[in-house]
């Protein structure tokens, strides 16, 4: 899901900086968040800057820290810190909004700063490899999940606003499966085609951005098995009502039919084995805001994107979790949807500005990332990409979900505009 990134960092509950877990990535990120909070409390730019610098250096893959540091340094005419920040942002392929900041623009005549700004402009410029593949004139679909049935060519799109899934035929016709006919169907986020293509796995939760939301809907959180032909709910598994907020943002189906479901509000991975009546749960210090997931064909591993901690690999037999080592100068933070494509992961990296579709090539042992390539970046159309899937030798993704253009009171945010709902397809090399 697209996140209001700065707000997420500032408001998410985090361990205190001295509450060490022994997991280096978790501890470094916690230190950075603690410094970020101190920066927010500081009374002056001079008092703010050291905390921002500490945060950025402790967790250097987080563009938000470098962006804030750059803007404060520019306010103070501090060329050293400004250049450090801009150089990092250029390497990460982030910082498009920073270089339009008034103070940064003013400093752009300083030695070195102009070159750094040019590198960011180049690193964040449009890269149009994908083309609009399917469109709905409805700007309020608030699409999140998407999957495709390779046998029929049919695409399934989850709708947050309308409590449903749309089946998109090969001729481009969108058909409402009307899941909302059943009781207690909330916003629909994740959708994956079940083996055989006759059914769909769907996640549903209560969100203020869905139509006719009430406070009672906040406890809604369930996995559904849906008949693909007509939207009939074949079976339902509800999470226990534990009083905690849940956002079941995505799911994937393993080679043996296991369903894995992620929760971006609670640090939990859910597993439903074939024929089971209840979920198995996995927790780990590296779980903070879980998003997309992808199982390996041999069933040994599950790759999961954690928005705050990066790309993770879970050994399903033992439950061991490791963070993939990043390729030098890159980051795997801010990834939402995730699919496995041969020896690489393709992710919707919407924690970036501008958002992008990135390929993370894995090391031969599958425990690290050897390189990152941007496959598509076109904010004019894909301003809020979410989740994608493989289709006919290409990668298909939701380009403009638009649901976060509404606040938690269900009101449209100032300065936002809605557009027809687009799905973009990127051809992939064989």
Tens of pLDDT, residue by residue over 24-54, are 999 999 999 999 999 999 999 999 999 999 9
Mean pLDDT of the 320-343 span: 97
Q: What local confidence, expressed as pLDDT, does residue 8 receive?
A: 37
Residue 404's closest CA among 357, 347, 339, 351? 351
Check pLDDT > 70 for residue 359. Answer: yes
Instruction: Give the pLDDT confidence of 166-213 residue by residue, as tens digits.
Output: 999 999 999 999 999 999 999 999 999 998 899 999 999 999 999 999
Query: pTM of the entire structure?
Result: 0.94
Query: pLDDT tens, 375-420?
Result: 999 999 999 999 999 999 999 999 999 988 888 777 889 999 899 9
- Asked if the model's pLDDT at residue 6 lies above 50, the reply is no
Residue-wise pLDDT tens digits, 138-148:
999 999 999 99
Structure confidence at residue 19 as a pLDDT band (50, 70, 90): low
Q: Which tens digit of pLDDT belongs to each residue from 69-127?
A: 999 999 999 999 999 999 999 999 999 999 999 999 999 998 899 999 999 999 999 99
Whether 384 contacts 404, CB under 8 Å: yes
Per-residue model confidence (pLDDT) at position 9:
41
């Amino acid at each position: 899901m697209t996140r209001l990134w700065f707000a997420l960092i500032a408001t998410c509950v985090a361990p205190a900086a001295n509450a060490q877990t022994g997991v280096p990535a978790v501890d470094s990120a916690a230190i950075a968040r603690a410094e970020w909070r101190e920066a927010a409390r500081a009374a002056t730019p001079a008092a703010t800057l050291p905390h921002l610098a500490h945060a950025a250096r402790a967790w250097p893959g987080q563009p938000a820290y470098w962006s804030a540091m750059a803007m404060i340094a520019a306010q103070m005419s501090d060329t050293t810190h400004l250049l450090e920040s801009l150089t990092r942002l250029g390497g990460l392929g982030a910082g498009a909004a920073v270089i339009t900041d008034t103070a940064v623009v003013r400093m752009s005549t300083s030695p070195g700063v102009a070159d750094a700004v040019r590198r960011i402009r180049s690193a964040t410029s449009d890269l149009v490899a994908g083309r609009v593949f399917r469109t709905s004139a409805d700007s309020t679909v608030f699409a999140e999940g998407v999957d495709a049935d390779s046998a029929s060519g049919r695409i399934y799109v989850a709708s947050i606003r309308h409590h449903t899934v749309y089946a998109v035929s090969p001729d481009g016709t969108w058909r409402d499966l009307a899941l909302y006919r059943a009781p207690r169907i909330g916003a629909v986020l994740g959708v994956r085609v079940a083996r055989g293509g006759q059914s769909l796995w769907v996640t549903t939760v209560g969100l203020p951005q869905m139509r006719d939301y009430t406070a009672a809907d906040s406890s809604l959180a369930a996995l559904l098995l849906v008949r693909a032909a007509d939207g009939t709910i074949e079976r339902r598994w509800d999470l226990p009502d534990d009083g905690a907020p849940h956002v079941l943002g995505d799911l994937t189906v393993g080679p043996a039919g296991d369903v894995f479901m992620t929760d971006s509000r609670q640090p939990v991975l859910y597993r439903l084995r074939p024929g089971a009546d209840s979920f198995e749960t996995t927790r780990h210090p590296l779980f903070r805001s879980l998003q997309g997931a992808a199982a390996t064909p041999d069933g040994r591993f599950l790759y999961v994107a954690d928005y705050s901690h990066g790309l993770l690999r879970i050994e399903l037999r033992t439950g061991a979790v490791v963070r993939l080592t990043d390729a030098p100068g890159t980051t795997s933070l801010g990834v939402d949807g995730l699919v496995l494509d041969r020896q690489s992961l393709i992710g919707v990296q919407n924690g970036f500005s501008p958002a992008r579709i990135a390929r993370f090539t894995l090391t031969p042992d599958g425990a690290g990332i050897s390189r990152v390539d941007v496959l598509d970046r076109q904010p004019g159309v894909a301003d809020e990409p979410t989740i994608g899937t493989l289709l006919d030798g290409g990668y298909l993704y939701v380009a403009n979900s638009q649901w976060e253009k509404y606040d938690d009171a269900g009101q449209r945010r100032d300065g936002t505009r809605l557009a027809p709902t687009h799905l973009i397809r990127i051809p992939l090399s064989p």
